[in-house]
């Protein structure tokens, strides 16, 4: 039924744009017979890339929806995100940072949640951390992180009484092949947005000096953990899994 719905959507969009199948084919760089197949819901033999090209030709986007055991997929992804947060928070608390996980905000119509809000009282340094177990959309990730960093000092002062001398940002990715390939593919934009990497990030976290914009790969266990990040008021001793 979903395949049929894809075909119906393409036909409706094409007709709305007063386009012929051959017009859509020319825009997408495909054949008219391929457009005809899609409109009839026969998409099994097409790649996702080809389907996206077809819909871009009618000014539409395609989002792939993965379903697994009802709603269990959301819980599985959330557990992995939580384990990444646990690993990062434990590592930062060891280095005398206060951490506040999942800090929500709503300022001037900007709403969201900061994955890990971190404070180094000795240097009055604020670090706004974005966690990603997978980097699906680089542009969207950068946009959202920029908003959180821009509002970070105000949120810190109003919510926690932290008066920041400097505000840094850190993108933390799960250390796996997929994440590293994704970063390598988009190094042009990510390199400008997050120029500090690996050992430099670790040194800065150990002794923050001024603002920093960095990217860090962090190994996480594939086994579920019980907690939802760490208790921010305590020092947590444990393994130091950070790798560059």
Which pLDDT does position 76 carry in this prediction? Answer: 57
The superfamily in CATH containing domain 2-56 is: lambda repressor-like DNA-binding domains (1.10.260.40)
CA distance 237 to 128: 22
In DSSP notation, 132-196 reads ESS-S-HHHHHHHHHHHHHHHHHHHHHHH----SEEEEEEEEE-SHHHHHHHHHTHHHHHHH--E
Q: pLDDT digit of tens for each residue in the chain (244 aa)?
A: 578 889 999 999 999 999 999 999 999 999 999 999 999 999 988 999 999 999 999 999 887 777 665 555 555 567 888 999 999 999 999 999 999 999 999 998 888 999 999 999 999 999 999 999 888 889 889 999 999 999 999 999 999 999 999 999 999 999 999 899 999 999 999 999 999 998 999 999 999 999 999 999 998 864 443 344 544 444 334 444 455 4
| The pLDDT of residue 228 | 47
What sections of the chain are H helices per DSSP?
Answer: 2-16, 21-28, 32-39, 48-56, 72-94, 138-160, 177-185, 187-193, 198-206
CATH 3.40.91 fits 72-218, yes or no: yes
**pLDDT reported for residue 221:** 61
pLDDT value of residue 55: 95
Rounded-to-integer distance, Cα 117 and Cα 157, Å: 12
Domain with CATH 1.10.260.40 in the chain: 2-56
Q: CATH 3.40.91 in the chain, residues?
A: 72-218
């Amino acid at each position: 039924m979903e395949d049929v719905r894809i075909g119906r959507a393409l036909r409706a969009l094409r007709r709305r744009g007063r386009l012929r199948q051959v017009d859509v084919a020319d825009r997408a760089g495909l054949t008219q017979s391929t457009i005809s197949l899609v409109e009839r819901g026969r998409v099994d033999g097409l790649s996702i890339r080809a389907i996206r090209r077809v819909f871009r030709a009618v000014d539409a986007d395609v989002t792939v929806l993965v379903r697994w055991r009802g709603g269990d997929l959301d819980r599985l992804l959330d557990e992995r995100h939580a384990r990444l947060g646990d690993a990062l928070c434990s590592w930062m608390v060891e280095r005398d940072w206060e951490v506040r996980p999942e800090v929500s905000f709503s300022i001037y119509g900007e709403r969201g949640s900061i994955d890990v809000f971190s404070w180094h009282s000795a240097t009055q340094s604020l670090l706004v951390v974005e966690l990603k177990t997978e980097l699906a959309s680089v542009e969207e990730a950068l946009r959202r992180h920029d908003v959180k960093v821009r509002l970070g000092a105000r949120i810190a002062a109003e919510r926690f009484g932290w008066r920041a001398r400097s505000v840094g940002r850190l993108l933390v990715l799960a250390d796996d092949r997929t994440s590293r390939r994704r970063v390598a593919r988009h190094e042009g934009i990510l390199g400008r947005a997050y120029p500090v990497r690996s050992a430099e990030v670790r040194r800065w976290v150990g002794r923050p000096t001024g603002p920093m914009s960095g990217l860090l790969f962090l190994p996480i266990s594939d086994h579920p953990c019980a907690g939802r990040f760490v208790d921010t008021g305590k020092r947590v001793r444990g393994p130091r899994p950070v790798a560059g």
